[in-house]
């Protein structure tokens, strides 16, 4: 059959534009992709925030190959395999105590759905059946399933799909450009925005609120770093009112800001963490929810032969995905990749802020090995300026990501100093070109 482009309806893509001038990757190794024309493209985004250890890593590749031969699939219901249990223990050891029980999914979106369902079922199991309200945040991104877009706060992800989940409310986002523009690291202003949670609780009643879900660093909306004291205050308020706090760490998990999880880094322990992406280095789909001992134990009642939680997926804890994840965790540890973030952060931050004086740049934000360069939108043509930057950077051999009129960067943790400089040299040229 002819390899025609028409049949594939591509996700989050301008399909018509792409199919007129396709950009095809056919290989990847280390820090680079290879295109169908044989060009090398430096990966400035770790794929989609997921290839934290770079591409074609031997330990991960070999683990997957071995597992395919040994045990390709095992039923996830009423049957186990050793890899899933080993991986659960490894993840529990990385997460802050008392988060020590792991429920496996296949993506970040599924992890969010799972965490929201666990939150509702937990309160039901505790005899608090009125606690059904879920609270997200404006500009939040929690995947694309109905629960995730309901608690999420990105307008374009929501407005085509009619009625979403009922009983959902939203905190204000933390982006305060008039006070925090061009901040380096955590911004000084904005902790007071957490107090809006008390207003929402007062409006609906604490007895009706089940959970609050936030990204510690909001990634897909354009890298919004939490103001000093903000996450701490959310934890205080939720604990006071018996409301579960869920950290969506699909992006921040596995070294992106220098620790296994942002919860460890910021010293704020939620009741659940959702993760995916860097869990398997993007090699194979897998996600997880890491829940506290208290949440898990609330379900462990009644006769032992009964199912405690009526939820799960055909591929939960899949053997091949488990093997990939275990090898990924080994790679992170053996190569000290989480520690590299601290070593490179100064140069990374300096490179980002070297672009701040460009006339079309209205903000620069950074934390760990994440960065955002916000551009002034073209009048009446939102997103076009950033998309032009994406195309120009690609032509110059650097992959960036854009969201709205924001350039987002999140390179693999194996990046070196010269490659950091290459990214910002290219972006400097791109910004001049699109001016």
- How would you write the pLDDT of the chain (435 residues) with one tens digit per residue? 567 999 999 999 999 999 999 999 999 999 999 999 999 999 999 999 999 999 999 999 999 999 999 999 999 999 999 999 999 999 999 999 999 999 999 999 999 999 999 999 999 999 999 999 999 999 999 999 999 999 999 999 999 999 999 999 999 999 999 999 999 999 999 999 999 999 999 999 999 999 999 999 999 999 999 999 999 999 999 999 999 999 999 999 999 999 999 999 999 999 999 999 999 999 999 999 999 999 999 999 999 999 999 999 999 999 999 999 999 999 999 999 999 999 999 999 999 999 999 999 999 999 999 999 999 999 999 999 999 999 999 999 999 999 999 999 999 999 999 999 999 999 999 999 987
pLDDT at 372: 98
Four-CA torsion 100, 106, 107, 109, nearest 10 degrees: -90
Residue indicated by tokens 């009048």: 379
pLDDT at 101: 98
Joined tokens for residue 351: 């490179």
Residue 110 contacts residue 145 (beta carbons within 8 Å): yes
Q: Which domains does the chain have, with CATH numbers?
A: 15-53+336-433 (3.90.1150.10), 62-334 (3.40.640.10)
Classify residue 229 by burial, with Cβ atoms within 10 Å: 0-12, 13-18, 19+.
middle
Q: How far apart are CA 411 and CA 401, in angstroms?
A: 11
DSSP assignments along 262-273, one per residue: HHHHHT---SEE
**3-state secondary structure string across 343-403:** HHHHHHHHHHHCCCCCCCEEEEEEECCEEEEEECCECCECCHHHHHHHHHHHHCCEECEEE
Of 413, 371, 424, 342, whose CA–CA distance to 46 is shortest?
Answer: 413
* Cβ contacts of 206 within 8 Å, gap of 6 or more: 241, 242, 243
Q: How far apart are CA 296 and CA 299, in angstroms?
A: 6
pLDDT at 2: 67
Across 24-51, b (16+ Cβ under 10 Å) vs e yields eeeebebbbbbbeeeeebbbbbbbebbb
Q: How do 406-409 and 401-403 pair as beta strands?
A: antiparallel
pTM beyond 0.95: the answer is yes
For residue 98, is the peptide bond before it cis, meaning its omega torsion is within 30 degrees of 0?
Answer: yes
pLDDT at 434: 87
pLDDT at 27: 98
Sign of torsion over alpha carbons 428, 257, 143, 319: positive
pLDDT at 1: 59
Q: How far apart are CA 77 and CA 96, in angstroms?
A: 28
- Helix (H, G, I), strand (E, B), or coil: what is residue 171? strand
């Amino acid at each position: 059959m002819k390899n025609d482009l028409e049949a594939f309806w591509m996700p989050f893509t301008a399909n018509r534009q792409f199919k007129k001038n396709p950009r095809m990757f056919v290989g990847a190794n280390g820090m680079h992709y290879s295109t169908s024309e044989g060009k090398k493209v430096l990966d400035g985004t770790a794929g989609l925030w997921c290839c934290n250890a770079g591409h074609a890593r031997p330990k991960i590749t070999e683990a997957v190959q071995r597992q395919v031969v040994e045990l390709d699939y095992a039923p996830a219901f009423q049957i186990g395999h050793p890899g899933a249990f080993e991986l659960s223990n490894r993840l529990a050891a990385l997460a802050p105590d008392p988060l020590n029980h792991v429920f496996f999914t296949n993506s970040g979106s599924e992890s969010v759905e799972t965490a929201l369902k666990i939150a509702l079922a937990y309160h039901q199991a505790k005899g608090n059946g009125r606690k059904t309200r879920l609270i997200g945040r404006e500009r939040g991104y929690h995947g694309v399933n109905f629960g995730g877009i309901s608690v999420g706060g990105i307008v374009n992800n929501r407005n085509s799909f009619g009625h979403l989940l009922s009983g959902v409310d939203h905190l204000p986002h933390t982006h305060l450009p008039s006070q925090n523009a061009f901040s380096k690291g955590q911004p000084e202003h904005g902790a007071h925005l957490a107090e809006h949670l008390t207003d929402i609780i007062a409006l609906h009643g604490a007895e009706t609120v089940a959970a609050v879900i936030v990204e510690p660093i909001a990634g897909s909306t354009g890298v919004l770093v939490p103001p000093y004291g903000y996450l701490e205050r959310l934890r205080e308020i939720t604990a006071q009112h018996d409301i579960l706090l869920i950290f969506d760490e699909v992006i921040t998990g596995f070294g992106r800001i220098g620790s296994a999880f942002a919860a460890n880094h910021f010293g704020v322990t939620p009741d659940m963490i959702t993760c995916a992406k860097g869990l398997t280095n993007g090699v194979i789909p897998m996600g997880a929810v890491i829940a506290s001992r208290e949440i898990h134990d609330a379900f462990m009642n009644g006769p032992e032969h009964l199912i405690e939680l009526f939820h799960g997926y055909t591929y939960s804890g899949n053997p091949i995905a488990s093997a990939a994840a275990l090898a990924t965790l080994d790679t992170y540890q053996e190569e000290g990749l989480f520690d590299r973030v601290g070593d490179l952060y100064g140069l990374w931050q300096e490179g980002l802020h070297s672009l701040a004086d460009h006339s079309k740049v209205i903000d620069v934000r950074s934390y760990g090995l994440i960065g955002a360069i916000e551009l002034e939108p073209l009048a009446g043509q939102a997103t076009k300026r950033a998309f032009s930057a994406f195309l120009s950077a690609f032509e110059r051999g650097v992959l960036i990501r854009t969201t709205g009129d924001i350039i987002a960067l999140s390179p693999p943790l194996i990046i070196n100093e010269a490659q950091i400089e290459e990214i910002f040299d290219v972006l400097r040229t791109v910004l001049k070109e699109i001016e």
